[in-house]
């Protein structure tokens, strides 16, 4: 996985995201728009540094987590604060939109 981005699965998701701010990318390797989102996520991860975590969840390998968040289209990006969704985007998003949402969640 890319620097600054953590890959999570059904077993690791809850514990990793229960505290702090996380930007979660629900994706799949066969999804073209998901691949287009990756360099943007890398930029976001480099910008937020230790202020928030950027994570990816492969919907094919982690169907329980995807179902828990009602993921129907990918990429879907969700900003979590202390394990609770505070913002959500569907489709490829610009870094500025994601950074703005993460900053709002950080308060």
Domain range list for the chain: 5-59+72-106
What lies within 8 Å, CB to CB, of 28 at 6+ separation is 34, 58, 59, 60, 74
Locate all alpha helices (DSSP H) within the chain, ordered by sequence.
13-17, 32-48, 63-68, 95-106
CA-based Rg of the chain, rounded to a whole angstrom? 12
Q: Give per-residue pLDDT as tens, 56-102.
A: 999 999 999 999 999 999 999 999 999 999 999 999 999 999 999 99
- Domain 5-59+72-106: assigned CATH number: 3.40.30.10
Catalytic residue, chosen from 10, 12, 20, 31, is: 31
The per-residue pLDDT for range 12-40, each reduced to its tens digit, is 999 999 999 999 999 999 999 999 999 99
Active site residue 34: yes
Confidence of residue 49 (pLDDT cuts 50, 70, 90): confident
Confidence (pLDDT) at 107: 86
Residue 104: the pLDDT is 95
Residues paired with 6 in a beta bridge? 55
Q: Which of 34, 59, 66, 71 is catalytic?
A: 34
Residue 1: the pLDDT is 54
Q: Is there a catalytic annotation at residue 22? A: no
């Amino acid at each position: 996985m890319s620097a600054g981005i953590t890959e999570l699965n059904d077993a690791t998701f809850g514990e990793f995201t229960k505290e702090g701010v996380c930007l979660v990318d629900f994706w799949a390797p066969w999804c073209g728009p998901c691949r287009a989102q990756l360099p943007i996520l890398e930029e976001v991860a480099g910008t937020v540094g230790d202020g928030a975590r950027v994570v990816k969840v492969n919907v094919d390998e982690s169907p329980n987590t995807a179902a828990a968040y009602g993921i129907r289209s990918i990429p879907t990006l969700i900003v979590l604060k202390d394990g609770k969704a505070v913002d959500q985007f569907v489709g490829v998003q610009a870094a500025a939109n994601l950074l703005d949402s993460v900053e709002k969640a950080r308060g």
